Amino acid sequence: MQHHIRALSRRRLLASVAALPILAGLASELAQGRSLSGTVPWSPFAGEPPRPVNPLGWYFFNPGEAATVEAIVDRLIPADHLSPGGKDCGCAVYIDRQLAGPFGQGSRLYTKGPFMPGLRTQGYQGDLTPAGRYRLGLRALNDYANTNTTYKKDFRGLAPEQQDAVLAGLDSGKIVLKLKPGFSTKEFFELVLQNTMEGFFAATKTWRAGR
């Protein structure tokens, strides 16, 4: 009987020791939950504000290009009371890193001629890599803004409503940039829009996972 009591006490001790890490982890989780939930009334990002992006600088864009892309993504995805804008979500950084890598160099694209006009659903048909299309398109965009009698400054220096008007013109075809034959203004706009959406959803997924 006494042996049985000692064995039982030993089992209880071992079980208690094994439970300590679990209980400690649970307490930590509960503490984190309290810090994230904040207090009533709840407000977005009260417990975890957006973290600064791009601590390592730009890999592909030069400073002028980077500022232009940041201005574009902030108008394509403007900030509101629920979410930061495209710039603060890191969309421009995402595009920069993509262009500096295999995507930007068109490693999976056929870039040898001859090139024939394709259907709209086939996308761009030419020898320009995505990096080359960005570099050409951004330069043409700023050339347009600087030579336009209404603006006379780079795109990044325009007022938000003016930037919206220019982007809408690119999308609708009312504004035609001076680009290489075979690469249209519409294709440039859609390329930037697609990459901006990719960057935003990637940032949103990462932010939610971090919580």
pLDDT digits (tens, 9 = 90+) for 195-209: 999 999 987 655 454
Question: Please, how many CA atoms are within 13 Å of residue 25, restricted to the half-sphere of its CB?
Answer: 5
pLDDT of residue 55: 61
pTM over 0.85: no
Spatial distance between the Cα atoms of 61 and 97, rounded to a whole number of angstroms: 9
- The DSSP string of 27-64 is HHHHHHHHHHH-SSSP-TTSSSPPPP--TT--SS--HH
**DSSP assignment, residue 157?**
G
Spatial distance between the Cα atoms of 208 and 160, rounded to a whole number of angstroms: 29
pLDDT of residue 52: 57
- Alpha carbon of residue 205 to chain centroid: 10
Taking phi over 0 as left and psi of -120 to 50 as alpha, with beta for the rest, 89 belongs to: alpha
Q: Which residues contact 154 (CB under 8 A, 6 or more apart)?
A: 64, 67, 68, 142, 145, 146
pLDDT of residue 10: 52
Alpha-helix runs per DSSP H in 84-159: 91-99, 102-105, 130-147
Contact assessment for residue 72 and residue 196, using Cβ atoms and an 8 Å cutoff: yes
pLDDT digits (tens, 9 = 90+) for 96-137: 999 999 999 887 777 777 777 767 676 777 788 999 999 999
Contact assessment for residue 188 and residue 137, using Cβ atoms and an 8 Å cutoff: yes
pLDDT band per the 50, 70, 90 thresholds, residue 65:
very high
